[in-house]
């Protein structure tokens, strides 16, 4: 009787027998050659190879573990086997910080301080010890991207800055990999599948050039609701399953951009049809390709420079004070009562979480729309003004604006913002980032 003729029950029985055989072979091999010499012994290498073929079959425990999913026609045992044969690679050079935990659920309080890739591996293995995970404790870069990405079939881009997004896109396209991409800010998220089997458009087809740098690195950034970005992650996982299972094909895959909105009147996912491949794309169109493996690996394309950074050095040294000076000014004021104004230009929500006492809050976004000094400070009585923000970026732009556009003379920037204040002056200041 051939395998095709066996019933499901008979197949499961056969699998169990093979597993038993597999285990006894493993034991025998271990006894004969010793466990420690695996890597150099050709016979053992052959054994390991066989072992990998066995691994594409599921154990009886795995039949139970994945049973509810395998019964679904869109998945079936064939997709489950593909998943079983796959290897996951996690690239992250960062360590777990307590501020990550509200949204990055692969980590927990116990793993604060650990490398993120190791923390993720540890927790994934707790969830499912049958998964093979390789970790790369590095930031992805021009130097390592090809080596890492070429080893995998699909790339999940969970990064949060344009430079890395373009790098991942370009390398994945040149390696012929499909990208599942997700991102989120505040209560909204975005989702798309890029370079689908080399026939779908890539990130560059949609966005040939990066967004203006000052729209992405403001001190106002950083807020995100954990459950909203979590949902984007889960949607990415589903899209990945659809690509792996073959649910998406060259015929039915239509490029799209999914926009999730968590705090609309109802939660919503709107999908926008996107154009196909651009025939001018500098990476995925063979005729117009300028970005190649060589260009990237030689470092001729510096993604961070190309995506730009805002020039925050807009002030002269004498237009700035440091946090120790601000402390002195505040302490002296208690004696002299000569008056000054501390202006905090962070967004209202951040100001409400924590602020230096007796500070006035005028968010930078609101400030830069003002036409006259009167609009900003209707009761201004010529006292010195000190401007502070979170990290000392928006405050510099605010000082420049107050001086150049609104004619305020006695105004200084507080270097490093409340971040520096919290670390160097007031350890009790509530830090929320
Ligand atoms: Zn493209």
Task: Give the DSSP H or E segment for 291.
Answer: none
> In the structure, what pLDDT confidence band is assigned to residue 282 with cuts at 50, 70 and 90?
very high
The verdict on whether 158 is a catalytic residue reads no
Percent residues over pLDDT 70 in the chain = 86
pLDDT tens digits for range 87-138: 999 999 999 999 999 999 999 999 999 999 999 999 999 999 999 999 999 9
Q: DSSP per residue over 63-82, as a string?
A: HHHHHHHHTSTTTHHHHHHH
CA of 275 to the centre of ligand 1 (A): 11
Task: Write the secondary structure of 87-138 as one string of H (helix), E (strand) and C (coil).
Answer: EEEEECCCECCHHHCCCCCCCCHHHCCCEHHHHHHHHHHHHCCCCEEEEECC
Say if residue 68's pLDDT is above 50: yes
Q: What are 147's two structure tokens?
A: 């080596």
Q: How far apart are CA 200 and CA 254, in angstroms?
A: 8
- pLDDT score of 196: 98
- pLDDT score of 248: 96
- pLDDT score of 338: 85
CA of 278 to the centre of ligand 1 (A): 6
CA of 277 to the centre of ligand 1 (A): 6
Output the CA torsion sign for 257, 261, 264, 267. positive
Q: Which residues of 346-371 are buried (b: 16+ CB within 10 A; e: fewer)?
A: bbeebbeeebbeeeeebbbeebeebe
CA of 180 to the centre of ligand 1 (A): 15
Q: Is pLDDT larger for residue 393 or for residue 180?
A: 180
CB 88 within 8 A of CB 132: yes
Q: What are 227's two structure tokens?
A: 């459950």
Say if residue 65's pLDDT is above 80: yes
CA of 245 to the centre of ligand 1 (A): 24
Q: How far apart are CA 369 and CA 367, in angstroms?
A: 5
CA of 158 to the centre of ligand 1 (A): 19
CA of 159 to the centre of ligand 1 (A): 19
pTM for this prediction: 0.76
Q: What's the order of all strands across the beta sheet hosting 256-261?
A: 154-157, 178-185, 188-194, 256-261, 268-273
Range 210-230 average pLDDT: 75
Say if residue 271's pLDDT is above 70: yes
Q: Is pLDDT larger for residue 313 or for residue 24?
A: 313
Q: In the chain, how many H helices and how many E strands?
A: 17, 12
Say if residue 76's pLDDT is above 90: yes
DSSP code of 287?
Answer: T
- pLDDT score of 43: 61
CA of 173 to the centre of ligand 1 (A): 8
CA of 244 to the centre of ligand 1 (A): 22
Indicate which residue of 192, 281, 307, 389 is catalytic. 389
Q: How far apart are CA 131 and CA 109, in angstroms?
A: 23
CA of 133 to the centre of ligand 1 (A): 30
CA of 202 to the centre of ligand 1 (A): 4
CB 386 within 8 A of CB 412: yes
User: Please, which residues have CB within 8 angstroms of residue 367's CB and are 6 or more apart in sequence?
Assistant: 345, 376, 398, 401, 402
> In the structure, what pLDDT confidence band is assigned to residue 145 with cuts at 50, 70 and 90?
very high
The verdict on whether 389 is a catalytic residue reads yes
Indicate which residue of 117, 219, 228, 284 is catalytic. 219
CA of 177 to the centre of ligand 1 (A): 13
CA of 236 to the centre of ligand 1 (A): 20
Q: Is pLDDT larger for residue 40 or for residue 260?
A: 260
Q: Looking at mean pLDDT, say which of 9-18, 29-38, 207-216, 263-272 comes out highest.
A: 263-272
CA of 178 to the centre of ligand 1 (A): 12
Residue 413, CA distances (Å) to 217, 219, 240, 344 in order: 18, 14, 47, 10
Which residues make up the environment of ion ligand 1, defined by Cβ < 5 Å?
202, 204-205, 281, 284
Say if residue 337's pLDDT is above 50: yes
Q: State CA 347 to chain mean position distance.
A: 23
């Amino acid at each position: 009787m051939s395998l095709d003729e066996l019933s499901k029950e008979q197949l499961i029985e056969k699998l169990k027998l093979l597993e038993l055989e597999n285990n006894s072979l493993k034991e025998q091999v271990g006894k004969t050659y010793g466990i420690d010499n695996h890597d150099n012994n050709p016979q053992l290498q052959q054994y390991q190879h066989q072992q990998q073929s066995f691994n594409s079959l599921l154990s009886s425990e795995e039949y139970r573990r994945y049973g509810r999913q395998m019964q679904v026609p869109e998945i079936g045992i064939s997709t489950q086997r593909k998943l079983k044969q796959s290897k996951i690679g996690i690239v992250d050079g960062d360590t777990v910080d307590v501020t990550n935990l509200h949204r990055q659920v692969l980590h927990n309080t116990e793993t604060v301080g650990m490398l993120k890739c190791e923390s993720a591996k540890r927790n994934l293995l707790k969830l499912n010890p049958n998964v093979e995970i390789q970790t790369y404790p590095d930031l992805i870069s021009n130097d390592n991207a090809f080596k890492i990405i070429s080893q995998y079939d699909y790339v999940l881009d969970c990064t949060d800055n344009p430079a890395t997004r373009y790098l991942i896109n370009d390398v994945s396209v040149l390696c012929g990999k499909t990208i599942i991409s997700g991102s989120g800010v505040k209560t909204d998220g975005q989702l798309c599948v890029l370079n689908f089997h080399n026939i779908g458009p890539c990130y560059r087809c949609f966005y040939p050039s990066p967004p203006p740098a000052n729209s992405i690195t403001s001190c106002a950034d950083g807020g995100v609701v954990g459950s909203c970005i979590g949902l984007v992650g889960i949607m990415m996982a589903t899209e990945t399953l659809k690509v792996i299972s073959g649910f998406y094909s060259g015929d039915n895959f239509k490029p799209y951009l999914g926009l999730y909105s968590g705090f609309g009147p109802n939660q919503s996912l709107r999908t926008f049809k996107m154009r196909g491949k651009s025939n001018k794309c500098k990476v995925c169109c063979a005729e117009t390709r300028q970005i190649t493996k060589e260009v990237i690996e030689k470092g001729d394309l510096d993604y961070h420079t190309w995506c730009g950074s805002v020039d925050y050095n807009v002030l002269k040294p004498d237009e700035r004070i440091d946090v120790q000076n601000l402390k002195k000014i505040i302490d002296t004021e208690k004696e002299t009562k000569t008056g000054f104004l501390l202006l905090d230009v962070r967004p209202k929500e951040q100001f409400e979480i924590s602020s230096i006492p007796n500070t006035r809050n005028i968010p930078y976004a609101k400030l830069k729309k003002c036409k006259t000094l009167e609009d900003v400070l209707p009761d201004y009585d010529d006292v010195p003004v000190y401007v502070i923000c979170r990290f000392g970026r928006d405050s510099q732009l605010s000082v420049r604006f107050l001086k150049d556009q609104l004619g305020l003379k006695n105004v200084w920037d507080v270097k490093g913002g409340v971040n520096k204040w919290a670390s160097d002056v007031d350890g009790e200041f509530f830090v929320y980032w």
